[in-house]
Structure 1
Amino acid sequence: MSVENAKLAYLDALRAGLAVWVFWGHLSGYCGWHVPVLSTPGAAVDCFMLVSGFLMVYTTRSTLGTATTVHNAMAFYLGRFFRIAPLYYLTLLVCAPVAAEWDQLRTQWHQALHGPHAVGYEEMTGLATWSGVVAHLTFAFGLIPSLVSSVPLPDWSLSLEMQFYLLFPLMAPWAWRHPVGRVAVVMTSAVLSWLTPIYFGSYTEPGAWFHFVQPSMLLFKLNVFVAGMLLAAWHARGARWGGAALSTVVLVAASLATSRPQVWMFVALFMYLLSSPTSGLAAFFSRRVFGKLGDWSYGIYLIHIFLVFPVLWWLEQHWRLSAFSPAQRFAIAAPVCTVVVLAVSAFLHRAIEMPGVKFGRRFMPRR
Structure 2
Amino acid sequence: MMKQTTFTHIGYLDGLRGLAALWVMVGHILAMYGEFPPIVSWTSLAVDIFILLSGFLMLHQVTAREIHEPLDRPQTWLIFWLTRFFRLAPLYYTMLVIAVLCEQYQNGFDGSFHFSNWESGSTANDQLGLHIISHITFLFGLSPEFARSTWLPDWSISLEMQFYLLFPFLALLGRSIGWLTVVGITCAACLLGDYLFSSFLHQFSLPSILLLKINVFMGGMLIAAASQKPNSRFIYLFAATGLMLLPIWGSAGMILDFGRALICLGFWILAFGQQMKTPSPIRWTISQVSTTLGSWPFVVLADLSYGLYLIHFPIILAWGRLTASEAPLSNLHNPLAALIVIPMVAYALAWVARHAVELPGIEFGRRITRKYRDLQPAQVY
Q: In the superposition, relative to structure 1, how do residues 210 and 61 fare at CA in structure 2: closer, same or farther (>3 Å)?
A: same
Note the alpha carbon deviations across 1:41-80, whole angstroms, 9 max, x for none: 1111112111000010111114558633222222211111
CA displacement at 1:88 relative to structure 2: 0.4
Question: What amino acid maps onto 2:340 in structure 1?
Answer: P
Cα gap change, 1:100 to 1:196, in 2 (>3 Å):
farther
Instruction: State the match for 1:228 in structure 2.
Output: 220
Change (3 A) 1:188 1:330: farther
Aligned-pair identity in percent equals 32
2: distance between equivalents of 1:332 and 1:191? 48
1:256 to 241, 244, 249: 244
Compared with structure 1, are the counterparts of its residues 66 and 176 closer, same or farther at alpha carbon in structure 2 (3 Å cutoff)? farther
Aligned equivalents of 1:83, 1:146: Cα separation in 2:
26
CA distance in 1, matches of 2:180, 2:228: 18
* 2:233 partner letter: A
Q: TM-score, normalised by structure 2?
A: 0.79
Q: Determine if the alignment matches structure 1 residue 247 to structure 2 residue 267.
A: no
- Name the counterpart of 2:59: 57
What SS is found at the alignment partner of 2:336? Answer: helix
State the Cα deviation string for residues 120-177 of structure 1 (Å, max 9, x = none): 7315769x62121111101011112210100111111111111111111111134444
Q: Which has the higher helix share?
A: 1
CA distance change for structure 1 residues 32 and 85 in 2, over 3 Å: closer, same or farther? same
SS at match of 2:145: helix
- Structure 1 residue aligned with 2:330: 319
* 8 Å Cα contact 2:183-2:239 kept in structure 1: yes
- Aligned pairs (5 A) from 1:73-222: 73-99=77-103, 121-123=121-123, 129-178=128-177, 181-196=178-193, 207=199, 211-222=203-214
Question: SS of the residue aligned with 1:122?
Answer: strand
Q: Which amino acid in the other structure matches residue 152 of structure 2?
A: L
> 1:199, 1:210 within 8 Å by CA — same for their partners in 2?
no
Moved more, 267-276 or 148-157: 267-276
Q: CA deviation at 1:340?
A: 0.9
Q: Does the CA contact (< 8 Å) of 1:37 and 1:262 recur in 2?
A: no
Q: Which amino acid aligns with 1:280?
A: Q
- The structural deviation recorded for 1:15 is 0.2
Structure 1 counterpart of 2:301, one-letter code: L
Distance 2:106 2:11 in 1: 37
**Higher RCO, Cα 8 Å, sep 6+:** 1
Report the secondary structure of 1:61's partner residue: helix
Unaligned runs of 5+ in 2: 1-6, 109-118, 247-255, 275-285, 377-381
In structure 1, which of residues 294, 306, 312 is the aligned counterpart of residue 302 of structure 2? 294
- What residue is the counterpart of 1:107 in the other structure? none
Q: How many residues align?
A: 331
Moved more, 264-273 or 311-320: 311-320
| Kept after mapping to 1: 8 A contact 2:28/2:41 | yes
Which blocks of at least 5 consecutive residues in structure 1 are unaligned?
105-118, 202-206, 323-328
CA, structure 1 residues 335+63, in 2 after alignment: closer, same or farther (shift >3 Å)?
same
Q: Distance in 1 between matches of 2:362 and 2:50?
A: 19
Which amino acid in 1 is paired with 2:172? P
User: 1: CA distance between counterparts of 2:13 and 2:232?
Assistant: 22
CA–CA separation in structure 1 for the residues paired with 2:63 and 2:39: 34
**Cα distance, 1:120–1:99 mapped onto 2, change above 3 Å:** farther
CA-based RMSD: 2.7
Alpha carbons 1:55, 1:232 under 8 Å: kept: yes
Which residue in 1 is equivalent to 2:272? 275
Contact 1:189 1:219 (8 Å CA) reproduced: no
**Does the aligned pair in 2 maintain the 1:124–1:151 contact within 8 Å?**
no
What TM-score results when the alignment is normalised by the length of structure 1? 0.82
The aligned counterpart of 1:5 is 8
Contact 1:190–1:254 (8 Å) recurs in 2: no
